[in-house]
Structure 1
Amino acid sequence: MSPSFQTILAALQRHGVEFAVVGGVAAVLHGAPVTTFDLDTLVRVDEKNADRLLAAFDEINARYRGHAPPLKPVREDILAGKHLLLMTDAGPLDVLGFIGRDDRYEDLCTRFETVRLEGVDFSILGLDELIRQKRAMGREKDLIALRLLEAVKREREGE
């Protein structure tokens, strides 16, 4: 995983943000050889977590991608529960209020796994749920990742 992603994850963790890594980075952490250019995080959407996110955003200088002059997310943006496509000093970060067909943090938190990387513990979407989400999305890039994730699962199961 990219050192820049580790910087972002460490900042989120330091500020106590409730989040899980989903998408391409989660696939990589499960062992799938995929390429990804941004860090996708599913976050709990509530007032306390919004405040924690804003503190982390300040630390990593998060701002919306493609805006000149730079535009920073505000509390209301987070509480809207949509997708925030951000750039940080450590690279791109997508903050997602939901994934798939409106699956929220609370809906999926029992399907998270904990990973420790460079002394930082954080949650990622479990392999089975990641496979389910990729299958449901059905986009070409998701179907490619799906085949790789299914191969990882077969390998883990000893097939």
Structure 2
Amino acid sequence: MDAGPLLARLVSALVQQRLDVVLIGNAAAAMHGAPVTTLDFDFMFRDTPTNLRKLKAVSASLGAVILRPFYPVSKLYRMVDDASGLQADFMPVIHGVRSFEGLRGRATEQPIGGVTLKVASLRDIISSKKAAGRDRDLAVLPVLEKTLEAMTATPRRRGS
């Protein structure tokens, strides 16, 4: 399944509601060229009453529902629409990320579906996965680190 159209629809709704988010996790890593897969989209956002209203409006516009699967121990908001296969997690706190502002400042902007999406830097994605320390995060680290190496490698001169 190509998740691009689904992500484009979600990002368009986020932009329409002016909800400031940064994509993080494997979906963000894939947008940087890492050969990884995922079943959901993970976003960091500021947890404010205004942003929660915006998140609810985004969900309603997509025909999705918002769940709090780990409440009260987690502030994760999960947006789900079974009909389209949408699962997007919105988190105000992410392991290994000090602040939304810092993450946002290091993010790149990538076009998707006619709008722009802020995508966490690969370094931030790696830091968050290391800090989370879950088996599934640790398993993907070598792939992400190899992708980062390839992205930052200095091109060799011919004949050297």
What TM-score, normalized by structure 2, do the two folds share? 0.80
Preserved CA contact (<8 Å) 1:44 1:104: no
Whole-angstrom CA distance in 2 between matches of 1:102 and 1:135: 11
Superposed displacement of residue 61, structure 1: 2.0
Whole-angstrom CA distance in 1 between matches of 2:141 and 2:113: 27
The AA in structure 1 aligned to 2:55 is L
Q: Secondary structure at the match of 1:100?
A: coil
Larger mean Cα displacement after TM superposition, 93-102 or 124-133: 93-102
Q: Secondary structure at the match of 2:80?
A: strand
Deviations 1:3-26 (A, max 9, x none): 212211111111110101111111
The match for 1:35 is: 37
The match for 2:80 is: 87
The AA in structure 2 aligned to 1:86 is M
The AA in structure 1 aligned to 2:135 is E
TM-aligned CA distance change 1:10 to 1:105, over 3 Å: same
Superposed displacement of residue 64, structure 1: 4.1
Structure 2: give runs of 5+ residues left out of the alignment.
155-160
The match for 2:136 is: 141
Q: Which has the larger radius of gyration?
A: 2
- Report percent identity of matched pairs: 27
| Matched residues, number | 148
Q: Secondary structure at the match of 1:146?
A: helix
Superposed displacement of residue 158, structure 1: 2.2
Whole-angstrom CA distance in 1 between matches of 2:68 and 2:46: 25
Structure 1: give runs of 5+ residues left out of the alignment.
68-76
Q: Secondary structure at the match of 1:147?
A: helix
Deviations 1:53-98 (A, max 9, x none): 221111012214699xxxxxxxxx9xxx810122125411111121
Aligned to 1:58, which of 57, 60, 70? 60
